[in-house]
Structure 1
Amino acid sequence: MTGLFVVVDGPSGVGKTTASALLVRLLTQEGWPVHPTKEPSNSVLGRTARHGTDEYRGLTLACLVAADRYHHLETEVRPALKAGKVVVCDRYLPTSLVLQRLDGVEPDFIWRLNRHADRPDLTIILTGDPTRSRVRAEERGIHSRFHRGGPDAGRRERDLYAHVATELQNAGFRVHHHDVGEHTPEQVVAALLVEVRRLLTATPAAQATTTDADLINES
């Protein structure tokens, strides 16, 4: 595959969708061919997963989300990468490792269920103040039972995303963990763009020999 697979993930309301859209816009302005996408996908499987969190729980929901992911990879992500595009995906494996874990699914099962999912070239995890994130999520509209628990649930979600950032690094993923703090979306994306440009301008050999010391964790 000749493209670049970038994932932007994090708690609901932290600003990942805004950051993803802005990252796509700036990369496009720089002349890179970009394919924006998201999970759950816009397929029937994805819509069922997105709007079915009150009906489906635990192992059932975890399997449904994984099925949508494999279909998404096969029908959209891999073809875009093969065409040399920068795929920017709003949510991916970190969401499963957090939300399915909050739903009582064992982490080992989540990893096994997703073991054939493609590894992104860069996984960006955004975290921030959970109270502010919950307010933003409520203003946007809550559609999932995972995001109705108030500040305490927000803190658990934020803390799990920070834990998952380390978990992914330990599994060999290239991770950039960024706390949004008081920064504007433009300031956040400026930092993210540095990391994406670094991969876009590196030679394939340089990317292949990157060591763990090159993984960036701004917790």
Structure 2
Amino acid sequence: MTGRFITLEGGDGAGKTTQAELLSAWLVEHGRTVLRTREPGGTELGLRIREIVLHERGHVSPRAEALLYAADRAHHVETVVRPAIARDEVVLQDRYIDSSVAYQGVARGLGAEHIRSVSAWAADGLVPDLTILLDLDVTVGRARVTAARGDTFDRLESEAEAFHESVRQAFLDMAAAEPDRFLVVDAGGSTEDVQRAIRVAVAPLVAIDPA
């Protein structure tokens, strides 16, 4: 038995939290120890960075935003993720390097390769065993967020629809470029169907029968 690193990506309202909860419960039922975490905010330092990048009232420049995410990632990987993998745990993480590439590299226009390079350095080269991309129409996703929380949006959620369309396309482009790492799931399907597709992909990584 070896530790695994699985990330969940996708736009707002795609259901990452719900699917991570279901997947975690399934893994635990089959005897695996699971660590659920997120970026930013998986550490005490990360929580402070999360407040700045998502809820800061004043302007945060795009480059500063990208570097704050990278700082969170460096600390999080070193102090939380790698130790959990070394303990043979399955790490389920909400957002990772691909989010930085999509949001800051593409949608913010900082350059996908620049952001990927900085992020890879911050993470000391750690690559997920599997990245689950929950793909969802932007309008549907935003409607889900509104239904759940009203009109309370963070800094990124408040961006225009065109921004989020760029993010979605960036994720799909990355998935197409790395098909061996990505699982793309239509998040517009039922919760059960989405989870079933995820379990089929995860099962071989953790030596579990997906049935």
Whether these two folds match at TM > 0.5 is yes
Counterparts of 1:199 and 1:86 in 2: how far apart (Å)? 10
Helix, strand or coil at the partner of 1:52: helix
The alpha carbon displacement at 1:129 in A equals 1.7
Partner of 2:184: 177
Helix, strand or coil at the partner of 2:156: helix
Task: Output the aligned Cα RMSD.
Answer: 2.1
2:97–2:120: 8 Å Cα contact kept in structure 1? no
Specify which of 156, 170, 173 is matched with residue 166 of structure 2: 156
Partner of 2:6: 6
Partner of 1:133: 141
The alpha carbon displacement at 1:143 in A equals 4.1
Partner of 1:16: 16
Tell me: CA distance 1:166–1:100, structure 2 relative to 1, closer, same or farther (3 Å).
Answer: same
Moved over 6 A (4+): none
TM-score, length of structure 1 as denominator length? 0.82
> 1:154 is matched by which residue type in structure 2?
H
Counterparts of 2:162 and 2:174 in 1: how far apart (Å)? 18
Partner of 1:166: 176
Partner of 1:85: 89
Specify which of 107, 129, 143 is matched with residue 121 of structure 1: 129
% identical equivalent positions: 34
* Residue 107 (structure 1) aligned with residue 115 (structure 2): no
Partner of 1:209: none
Aligned residue pairs, count = 198
1:45–1:64: 8 Å Cα contact kept in structure 2? no
1:115-164 deviations in whole A, cap 9, x for unaligned? 23210111111111211100112334444322123544432322222122
Counterparts of 1:149 and 1:100 in 2: how far apart (Å)? 12
